[in-house]
Chain A
Amino acid sequence: MSVKYQHITEALAQLEEEALVQALKDAVEAGPSAEEAQDIVNACTMGMERVGDLFEEGEYFVGDLIYAADILKGGMELLAPCIGAGGVSKIGKLVIGSAPGDLHDIGKNIFIAMMEAAGFEVHDLGIDVAPDKFVEKVKEVQPDIVGISGLLTLSLDTMGDVINALKQAGLRDGVKVMIGGNPVSEAVQKRVGADAHSTNAATGVKQCKEWVVA
């Protein structure tokens, strides 16, 4: 990464909103080239990655992730004018939704913010997403990863319905499936036939990155 924008990474990692906003404003005012704009985005990505690491180390908590996502969102808005029509380069594609029957999305939204920050193209299907909606979207965008999120224990059954629908449509082998949320566990992962599970956004993102790099 470019050393030039290291202070941007640092400000985001330390959750210093004012410093981040100032640094981004300065960077935008300097009229960066397309390549430099990509470097600035990468600096933000690395900052968010640091936030994820600090979360895993027990230094940051979920409230910090939410705040980090919030200040990054503001930061990306500042950067928008510098990013050309082609956008920034993506490392992979995710289709995600809350499990059928589950109306909750706070955790899913934190995960999405962190996945976008990590460079994924995200297709969010919203809450209470029926299995055929997942199938339809997977056919359309051909993602690397399908994420099924759930807060309630009822979603532990319907996550399996989504995976079965993917199987029946002949799409299961083409994607990795991650289930996420407070009630998921290794036992549930096995039962529903997912590839991974995560009870927090940070480790979920890490797993997804491993998948697309491998």
Chain B
Amino acid sequence: MSDDVQKLLQERVERITTTIKIEEPDRVPITSMFETWAGHYSGYSVTDVAFNYDKLAESFYKVAEEFEVDTLPPPLGVRCGPIYTTLGTKEFSFFNKDGVPHASIQHMEGKDIMSVEEYPELIKDPYKFIIEKQLPRRYKALDQAPDKKAEALGKACFIYEKYIANAVGKLCGTLETKYGIPALFKSSTEMPLDALMDYFRGFRGVSVDIRRNKEQVIEACEALYPVMLRRAVQNLPSGPFPFIFIPLHIPTYLKPKDFETFYYPTFKRMIEDLISFDLTPALFMEGNWEPYYDYINELPKKKVVGLIEHGDFKKTKDNIGKTITIWGGMPIDVINNSTKEEAIDYAKKLIDDLAPGGGYIFGCDKSLLAPNDANPENLKAVFKFVKEYGVYK
């Protein structure tokens, strides 16, 4: 690494670590969830980047070069294509039946993964239930005789190791050493109730279970807790940055009273436990979180980052800005459907509302996936503006 790159990397890490302590760094840090859009920007389809790690890396280097953000997410959202085809996923889809790539990777809710009668089994031994029931119902190659299943798992492990080494390790390493851009996340997990919804019972299932099978939902979250915690903290270098990526899925579909009963207990414990390992949870706060701000304020102060999608940002800063670092806020709707000047005006207001005192990371409200998710010229103009206007004096 050249001295210049080393210095740049240092500055960026410093900028972010200061920000998340809710103190003022030299300027507002910038990052966004660049995912399959990065590939489209280089002329590559989702299949290109999910199955060819060189094309994936090339796309991310181009983003690094042209957008000059302070940190980039590892391309986990692009996903490892070969592992899903090898295992015969029933949920993730990269291309249609004619082999034509989708404009973004699609996830369809798994069907009939776990019936309501199976709660006791899940609660008794979640790991056993996952291995013996849940995975075979989600992946065709794991729903076979033991020898075939072992062969499929072996293949998948081999693919996964290669993926991690190339698509994550080598790519993030190069972003650091060549571009001075640190990785945004070092691991990820989900909250237990989200995991129960996403991988076991589905949205409809959980929505009715919290009324008809209340105790079992609570017990299932408790049972899944150690599994989900372990997923986040295994073999990690310590330190508050890079963050632990945690997308939050169901909360804003629950009324606050239900959130408190079913989601909050394991949500809060997960955050506290991650912090006790000296890790920073970065929460994807999808939807409108205003009704739940009181719960956010119960979390340990200055230890959590939250990507905000909706809401009145002035109010967000006033309400939870002393507790968590706020990230995001720039609507891709504005990036795409406004003039450059209008987009910059919007960004200016975000900085005015959210940056004072630190604790703000500038970025888009949503992940960048499909080809038209961001008008590149407007996005560049907005980032350039934030670099100038977001300087702390």
- For A188, list chain B residues within 8 Å (CB): 333, 337
Which residues of A sit under 8 angstroms from B253, Cβ to Cβ? 61-63
What mask results when residues 96 to 139 of chain B are scored 1 for a CB within 8 Å of chain A, else 0?
A: 10000011101011000000000000000000000000000000
**Does B104 lie within 8 Å of A154, measured CB to CB?**
yes
Q: State A20–B206 Cα separation when bound (angstroms).
A: 21
Stretch at the interface among A96-104, A138-146, A163-171: A96-104
List residues of chain B with CB within 8 A of the CB of A124. Answer: none
Q: Which of A29-37, A64-72, A114-122 contacts B (4 or more CB under 8 A)?
A: A64-72
Report the minimal beta-carbon distance from A77 to chain B, rounded to whole angstroms: 15
Is B172 on the interface with A (CB-CB < 8 A)?
Answer: no
A129 to chain B, nearest CB (A): 13
A152 within 8 A of B: yes
Interface size of B as a range: 20 to 34
Given A152-B369, A156-B372, A187-B337, also A63-B104 (CB < 8 A): no
Chain A residues closer than 8 Å to B206, beta-carbon distance: 63
Q: Which residue of A lies closest to B337 (CB)?
A: A187
Residues of B near A63 (CB, < 8 A) are 206-207, 210, 250, 253-255, 258
Question: Using a CB-CB cutoff of 8 Å, which residues 69-109 of chain A contact chain B?
Answer: 70, 101-104, 106
Residue B319 at the chain A interface, CB threshold 8 Å: no
Check B108 against A66 for contact (C-beta < 8 Å): no
B146 contacts across to A, CB distance below 8 A: none
Q: CB < 8 Å: which of B203, B211, B370, B371 contacts A17?
A: B211
CA distance A66 to B204 in the complex (A): 6
When each residue 252-284 of chain B gets 1 if its CB lies under 8 Å from chain A and 0 otherwise, what string results?
Answer: 111100100000000000000000000000000
- Whether the Cβ atoms of A153 and B211 lie closer than 8 Å is no
**With A61-B254, A67-B207 as contacts: A154 and B291 at CB distance below 8 Å:** no
In the assembled complex, the CB of A128 is this many whole angstroms from the nearest CB of chain B, namely 8
A7-21 CB contact bits vs B (8 Å, 1 = yes)? 000000001010000
* Chain B neighbourhood of A185, CB < 8 A: 333, 337
Q: How far is the CB of A28 from chain B (nearest CB, A)?
A: 22
Most chain B CB within 10 A, of A63, A64, A154, is at A63
Rounded to whole angstroms, the CA-CA distance of A156 and B335 in the bound complex is 14
With a cutoff of 8 Å between Cβ atoms, the chain A residues found around residue B204 in the complex are 66, 70, 106
Interface string of B326-337 (1 = CB under 8 A from A): 000000110011
A66 touches B208 (CB 8 A): yes
Contact flag A191-B103 (CB < 8 Å), given A58-B291, A63-B254: no
The answer to whether B106 and A153 touch across the interface, beta carbons within 8 angstroms, is no
Taking the closest CB of chain B, its distance from the CB of A83, in whole angstroms, is 25
A60 at interface (Cβ–Cβ under 8 A)? yes
Interface residue B93 (Cβ < 8 Å from any Cβ of A): yes
Please determine whether A61 and B211 come into contact, CB atoms closer than 8 angstroms: no
Q: Is A59 positioned at the interface, with any CB of B under 8 Å from its CB?
A: yes
The reply on A157 being an interface residue by CB < 8 A is yes
Question: How far apart are the CA atoms of A63 and B194 in the complex, in Å?
Answer: 13
Chain B residues near A101: list those with CB within 8 A.
Answer: 102-103
Determine whether the beta carbon of A152 is less than 8 Å from that of B255.
no
List, in ascending order, chain A residues with CB within 8 A of B104's CB.
152-154
Looking at the assembled complex, report how far the CB atom of A186 sits from the nearest CB atom of chain B, in whole angstroms.
9
CB within 8 Å of A: which B332-382 residues: 332-333, 336-338, 366, 369-373
9 cross-chain CB contacts under 8 A: A61-B252, A66-B207, A103-B106, A106-B203, A128-B96, A152-B106, A153-B104, A154-B102, A187-B333
10 closest pairs, A vs B, by CB? Answer: A187-B337, A154-B103, A154-B370, A62-B253, A66-B207, A63-B207, A61-B255, A63-B253, A103-B106, A153-B370
| Contacts A67-B211, A153-B373, A187-B336 supplied; 16 other A-B pairs, CB < 8 Å | A17-B211, A17-B212, A61-B252, A61-B253, A61-B255, A62-B207, A62-B252, A66-B203, A103-B93, A104-B106, A104-B108, A152-B103, A152-B369, A153-B369, A157-B103, A183-B366
Q: Interface on B for A, CB 8 Å cutoff? A: 93, 96, 102-104, 106, 108-109, 203-204, 206-208, 210-212, 250, 252-255, 258, 291, 332-333, 336-338, 366, 369-373
